[in-house]
Structure 1
Amino acid sequence: MSTTAAGNATGIHAASTNLTGAARSPKTLPGVPRWAELAAQAAAWANVPSGLWRLAIAVGIPVGLAQVEYDRMHAPGWGSFYLLFLTALSEGLALLTLGLIRQWGETWPRFIPFVGGRPVSVKVATGLGAFGAVATTIYGAAFIYSTFHADMEGARWAIWLLNATYAPMILWGPALGAVTVHYYQRRTRGARGEL
Structure 2
Amino acid sequence: MPINLALGDTDRPVPRWALRSAKALPFVVLPHCLWRLPFAFDFSMGIVDPSASPMPWWAPAYVFGLSVLTEALALLCTGLVSGWGEQVPDWVPLIGGRRVALLAAIIPAALGGLGLVVMWDTMPLAWFGLLGFQEVAFSNGWWMLLARVCISPVMLWGPIVLALTYAYYRRRRSA
CA distance in 1 between partners of 2:98 and 2:151 (Å): 37
Q: 1:141 to 1:110 in 2, by over 3 A?
A: same
CA 1:186 to 1:109, structure 2 compared with 1: closer, same or farther past 3 Å?
same
1:159 aligns with 2:140: no
2:55 aligned partner: 74
Query: Which piece of structure 1 moves more, 179-188 or 57-66?
Result: 57-66
In 1, Cα distance between equivalents of 2:164 and 2:36: 27
Unaligned ranges ≥5, structure 2: 1-5, 129-133
**Counterpart among 160, 167, 175 of residue 175 in structure 1:** 160
- Does the Cα contact within 8 Å between 2:41 and 2:55 map onto a contact in 1? no
CA contact (8 A) 1:39 1:178 kept: no
| TM-score normalised by structure 2 residue count | 0.80
What residue is the counterpart of 1:96 in the other structure?
A: 76
Which of 102, 112, 115 is residue 135 of structure 1 equivalent to?
A: 115
What's the RMSD between the two structures over aligned residues? 2.4
- Check conservation: 1:40, 1:98, Cα contact below 8 A: yes
Q: Deviations over 1:73-107 (max 9, x none)?
A: 727x4322221222122221111111100111111
How many residue pairs were aligned?
163
Match status 1:54 vs 2:36: yes
Distance 1:165 1:72 in 2: 24
Q: Which 4+ residue blocks in structure 1 deviate beyond 6 angstroms?
A: none
Instruction: Show the counterpart of 2:65.
Output: 85
- Higher alpha-carbon Rg: 1
Q: Partner letter of residue 164 of structure 1?
A: V
SS at match of 2:100: coil
Q: Which structure: greater helix fraction?
A: 1
Identity %: 31
Aligned counterparts of 2:37 and 2:103: Cα–Cα separation in 1? 35
Aligned amino acid, residue 158 of structure 1 = W
